[in-house]
Structure 1
Amino acid sequence: MSEILGFIGLGIMGRPMALNLLRAGHELQVHARRAASMQPLADAGAQTCASPAEVARRADVIFTMVADTPDVEAVILGEQGVIQGARPGSVIVDMSTISASATRRIAERLGERGVEMLDAPVSGGEAGAIEGKLSIMVGGSQGAFRRVLPLLQVMGQNVVHIGDIGAGQVCKSCNQVVVGATIAGVAEAILLAQASGVDAARVREALLGGFANSRVLEVHGQRMIDDDFKPGFKARLHQKDMRILGEAAAELGLCLPSAAMISQYLNALVGQGLGDLDSAAIAKILQALNGREPSG
Structure 2
Amino acid sequence: MSIRLGFIGLGVMGGPMCRNLVRRSGVPVTAFDLNAEALDACEADQAGSAAEVARRSDIVFLSLPAAPHVESVVLNDVLPNARPGQIVVDLSTSPVELAQRLAAMLAGESLTFLDAPVARTRQAAVDGTLSITVGAPSTDAFARVEPYLRCMATEVRHCGPPGAGALIKLLNNLVVFETVVALAEAVTLARRTGLVGDDTLFDALGAGSAASFVLDNHGRKALLPNTHPRGAFPAAYMRKDIGYVLDLAEQTGVRLPAGNLAHDLLGDACEQGHAEAYHTVVVRVIEQQR
Q: TM-score range by the shorter chain?
A: over 0.9
Superposition map of 1:230-269 within 5 A: 230-231=229-230, 232-269=232-269
Superposition map of 1:109-120 within 5 A: 109-120=105-116
Aligned length: 285
Superposition map of 1:172-187 within 5 A: 172-187=169-184
Residue type matched to 2:65 in 1?
A
Query: Structure 1 segments of 4 or more deviating over 3 A?
Result: none
* Structure-2 residue corresponding to 1:33: 34
Superposition map of 1:154-173 within 5 A: 154-173=151-170
Secondary structure of the structure 2 residue equivalent to 1:213: coil
Secondary structure of the structure 2 residue equivalent to 1:114: coil
In the alignment, structure 1 residue 125 sits paired with structure 2 residue 126: no
* Structure-2 residue corresponding to 1:228: 227
In the alignment, structure 1 residue 216 sits paired with structure 2 residue 217: no
Percent sequence identity over aligned pairs: 36
Residue type matched to 2:210 in 1?
A
Residue type matched to 1:40 in 2?
A
* Structure-1 residue corresponding to 2:60: 62
CA distance, structure 2, for counterparts of residue 32 and residue 139 of structure 1: 25
CA distance, structure 1, for counterparts of residue 66 and residue 126 of structure 2: 21
Superposition map of 1:4-19 within 5 A: 4-19=4-19
Secondary structure of the structure 2 residue equivalent to 1:226: coil
Q: RMSD between aligned alpha carbons?
A: 1.2
Shift of 1:225: 2.0
CA distance, structure 2, for counterparts of residue 259 and residue 137 of structure 1: 21
Q: Deviations over 1:233-288 (max 9, x none)?
A: 11110011011111111111110111101101100111111011111111111111
Residue type matched to 2:142 in 1?
F
Q: Is the contact made by 1:55 and 1:85 (CA closer than 8 Å) also made in structure 2?
A: no
* Structure-2 residue corresponding to 1:294: none
Q: Is the contact made by 1:190 and 1:221 (CA closer than 8 Å) also made in structure 2?
A: no
CA distance, structure 1, for counterparts of residue 27 and residue 82 of structure 2: 19
Q: Deviations over 1:134-163 (max 9, x none)?
A: 111110121111111111111111111111
Residue type matched to 2:223 in 1?
M
Shift of 1:35: 2.7
Secondary structure of the structure 1 residue equivalent to 2:208: coil
The TM-score with structure 2 as length reference comes to 0.95
